[in-house]
Amino acid sequence: MINRIGVISDTHGFFDERIAELFAGVSLILHAGDVGSDHILERLSHLAPVCAVRGNVDADGSCATLPESVQIIVSGYTIFMTHIFNLPEDGPSPDLPDPAPDVAIFGHSHKQCHLNREDTLYLNPASAGRQRFTNPRSLIILSVDSDSLEAWLVAL
């Protein structure tokens, strides 16, 4: 069975209506922090179950009680998610749990990342919130089944 997972970050309290269309049919939504408002998690939960982590702006309401990081298993693949993550130039990151996960999801920088290094797929969907900086706004669709793991950046 293929699991389609919606990956989003840095909404900063803004829900782009295109998210509902792009995440139609996903079985899970992962929010990599800087949610910005409880209503974001509520809106996302109408689309699919949501797993979220706390970002540096998540100081109020239920967002303030979100965990700093999570690790889940989907179709046998380990997925680690946190908000602030330092991706090293070479080799595995010291910020990863041991053993290293199959997927590491993070946010914060508002910069897209889709990088496979030493058997870990590093993903940053960039920002789904209002346009800030010059980085593109986007999210990720992650397809997971027992035989494969694929991710696509999707522009907002």
Instruction: Please tell me which residue, 92 or 34, carries the higher pLDDT value.
Output: 34
Mean per-residue pLDDT for 119-126? 95
Do 150 and 143 contact (CB within 8 A), yes or no? yes
Nearest alpha carbon to residue 55 among 96, 103, 10, 111 = 10
Average pLDDT over residues 122-138: 91
Map tokens 């749990």 to a residue.
97
Average pLDDT of the chain to the nearest whole number: 93
Decide if pLDDT at 88 tops 90.
no
Torsion of CA 37, 22, 155, 128, to 10 degrees: 0
Residue 73 banded pLDDT, cuts 50, 70, 90: very high
Specify burial of residue 26 (Cβ count, 10 A radius: 0-12, 13-18, 19+): buried
CATH architecture of 3-155: 4-Layer Sandwich (3.60)
pLDDT at residue number 84: 94
Residue 78, pLDDT score: 97
Query: Residue 125's pLDDT is what?
Result: 97
- Return the closest-CA partner of residue 31 out of 13, 3, 52: 52
> What is the CB neighbour count within 10 angstroms for residue 21?
9
Q: Quick one: pLDDT at residue 60?
A: 86
Distance, CA of 139 to CA of 124 (rounded, Å): 8
pLDDT surpasses 80 at 94: no
Per DSSP bridges, beta strands 120-124 and 113-117 are antiparallel
Beta bridge partners of 28: 5
Answer whether residue 70 shows pLDDT above 70.
Answer: yes
pLDDT given at position 131: 84
Cβ atoms of residues 129 and 13 within 8 Å: yes
